[in-house]
Chain A
Amino acid sequence: MTMQTNSEDLQRQSLSGLFWATCRREYLLSFRRKSDLVNPLIFFLMVATLFPLGVSPEPGFLAQLAPGVVWVAALLSTLLSMDALFRSDYEDGSLEQLLLSPQPLFLVVLAKVLAHWSVTGLALTVMAPLLGLMLFLPAEGMPGLMLSLLLGTPTLSLVGAIGAALTVGLRKGGVLISLLVLPLYIPVLIFGSSAVQAAVTGLPLGGYLALLGALLALALGLAPLAISAALRISMSS
């Protein structure tokens, strides 16, 4: 009996060990390849700059546009960074080792996506007020912007990872991934930008954030399974 619990303990230990080891590895990787870390953020900033140039620099008009623009920019920069999630592991053979590990694949995948989110989605969330300022988003909208991004971007990363896993073996994966994933991003975009608009007009935020949270919960539950299945399929050819 004691033996049994002991081995269960060990198992649990090795699982959480694996989770953190994977997170640690991902952080090491992204902090040593700084361009991967910074590029999505620069892209985020640039996309937001295009709108005043392309439409109009008039503050009132931009303020109206701001929630949608910041959200679309965040969505596109997340998408841009997704392609790299599994590609380097695929190219150097780490992905094969990952798939042949006796450890549960969804756990490693979840750790990878979370680590990836914390250097993209989380960074975008922190950077968002800057864009809000540039686009004259009223100060009342800022908490809504940051909270909605905080709850919405992990969903974007999880769903994007499904696309990344499906296209990992393909040479033209980068373009294809946006085709696969963008339609799936639409609900997050709708609820996210509506939350910001509600915050600007002083309406209660709770409902929007609850919806974003529900989407995140659904994605957390189902996406790792889909990603694992997709990886196995992509690697099998």
Chain B
Amino acid sequence: MIEELGTNDQGDMIINVGPQHPSTHGVLHLVITLHGETVKKVEPHLGYIHRSIEKMSESLSYRQFSYVTSRMDYLSSHINNHACALTVEKGLQIEIPGRAQYIRVILDELTRIASHQLWWGALAMDLGAFTPFFYSFREREMINEIMEETCGARLTMNYIVPGGVMFDIHPDFQKKVKHFLKEFKSKIHEYNELVTGNVIFQNRTKGVGYISKENAISYGMTGPSGRGSGFICDVRKLHPYEMYNQLQFDEITEEGGDAFARYMVRIREMEQSMNIIEQLIDNIPEGDFLAKTKAVLKLPKGDYYTRVETARGEFGVYIISEGGTTPYRIKYRSPGFSNLSALNDMSVGGKLGDLMATMGTLDLVIPDIDR
């Protein structure tokens, strides 16, 4: 299976990074070939947290299957649930109440901010600075509290259900979100002081893990990782769902294609997400939060594909229905899986430390890759 010899014919060292390694953020296993400090080949070995969610979902009803997707990309669990709900709604042609749409989009964007905050801390940790992690968690905690109040859970929410959302928002929701926006805006300069402007950080990321736009498209790199190479791929802009087409926001792209460009995309995306929330938070319409649906949902025979933009990129749910109460086949197109496939191309020729910076800026969530 894995070469235990340690060296190959050329005298290169073969090292197992992971499955237990501090910077693989979980159970990713990379077999890397090192020539001195220079990376010659990176080969991911997956499956340490493979739960075959696609097979599981084949035996779950259309109300049940979306809770499992929270366990895929646990940092954007809301958005995953959202994608599932959208697919079912598309199949059943349910009209979602306006209030539910607003709530969904606000929560999506809050999730995106929370995910980017955690990524920011974890990236700094990959590069050897521990302190940023705690600063980012301080702000993330506020989002978690908002989620806990409204959704009843902090990470795996299962709040967005086919037809709308599970409960109405908490009475304090708007106040808390506005408070968070104010706090976070006053704290975001710390992010730049501590990490972005730091000369060591810039040297560690600029020109590291370069991928061209053509390659990024070919590898299917979406989300901030793809946009860092100038690939315009924001599903919220290209294939607007819910009410993203009525909102004013920019799609952030950087032309650099290196780790620093991907870093800047995420930092600037947090500001855009705050911008979106600000447009919505005061205008949540009154009314129902959940459309009337049948007790047992049955999707008509056919194929349904929904794409949404998670914090990591384009997430697709592909349901093939035979008309029953459970999906015949379900496929999740996870952004991390495609992003990871480019890792070898991006890190060859760099140093071992560059590999960690590249992995950090790809923002890998391993359950999302393994599913």
| A-B complex is real | no
B residues at A contact (CB < 8 Å): none
